[in-house]
Copies of this chain bind each other. A is one copy, B any other.
Amino acid sequence: MPRVSTNQLAARRQQILDGARASFSRHGYEGATVRRLELATGLSRGAIFHHFRDKEALFLALAEQDAQRMVEVVVEQGLVQVMRELLASPESIETGWTGTFLEIARRTRTDPGFRERWRERSGGLAVAIRGRLERQAAAGALRTDVPVGVLASYLELVLDGLLSRLATGAPDRDDVRTLDAVLDLVEGAVRVSQPARPGAS
């Protein structure tokens, strides 16, 4: 049926998603007016809403995509590493999950309809984190005096905190150094603890 190739179509879709991500990230959901979405995507209202039913559908698709990417990275590299890279590359803050995160939190909080729709589509991240931790636990890399579920929850909490922190404003050089040390702390709290003993790191 399609008159243009599926590739072409997917590319357009992605073009819209990318522009929209930047716009939502910079201005927030309400601030990302359709006018701004047009400018950011280089397409017209007609085009945008031809591909997505309405603004929320667009945001939802975008958030889902971001979450999926996040899951993949977490599976590959682990949460702590993800956080380290988040810290190291300021440009990822503008374009990636960071900007989306706060908007999801906010809309999840204020709009029950959105909460429902998001719950249906999100899912994966917590599962991925816990999965990776369980593999590490099996490999004996984690402390054993605390259930894995608690460790997972702990890391998620720190991630959320870091995202909030980064969303609020780019950290300066000192901030980055401090936050890196914080991540060391976090990592230490999860690993088999070779606790502060004379001579230990």
Contact = CB atoms under 8 A, between A and B. Distances in A.
A192 B200 CA distance: 8
Copies in the complex: 4
Contacts of A57: none
Given A154-B182, A162-B157, A195-B194, A169 B201 contact: no
Contact of A168 (B109, B147, B178): B109
Contact of A158 (B26, B31, B115, B161): B161
A117 interface: no
Q: Considering residues A31, A102, A151, A169, which has the most beta carbons from chain B within 10 angstroms of its beta carbon?
A: A102
B109 A169 contact: yes
Given A108-B168, A156-B165, A192-B196, 8 more contacts: A28-B110, A115-B169, A160-B162, A161-B162, A186-B189, A188-B189, A188-B195, A189-B189
Contact of A30 (B30, B159, B161, B192): B30
A70 interface: no
State which size class the interface on A falls in: 35 or more
A105 B150 contact: no
Contacts of A58: none
